[in-house]
Amino acid sequence: MGETKKFSIDNQNESEIKRIILATYEALKEKGYNPISQIVGYILTEDPTYITTHNNARSLIRRVDRFELLQILLSDYISNDI
């Protein structure tokens, strides 16, 4: 068996990712979409058509590494539950 890989991101990058996700969320909401469903669809498929071009949201979210995004989401979810 191989060793477990270690994955981490820095706080500055985390802040930028959160800013991008919130901007994407707001753009989707403004266009009448269910932002959570659309962002989940994007995360699972990496298909940018899940994200609106409104307010440049599609370009913004494509700058975010999905693995980093999932790490932040899971970390925030767990820390809020503890």
Summarize the confidence of residues 36-64 as an average pLDDT. 96
Cα-based distances in Å from 39 to 3, 4, 10, 45, 51: 32, 28, 22, 10, 7
pLDDT tens digits, one per residue of 8-47? 666 668 889 999 999 999 999 999 999 999 999 999 999 9
pTM above 0.85, yes or no: no
CA distance 8 to 41: 24
List of residues 6+ apart from 67 with CB closer than 8 A: 7
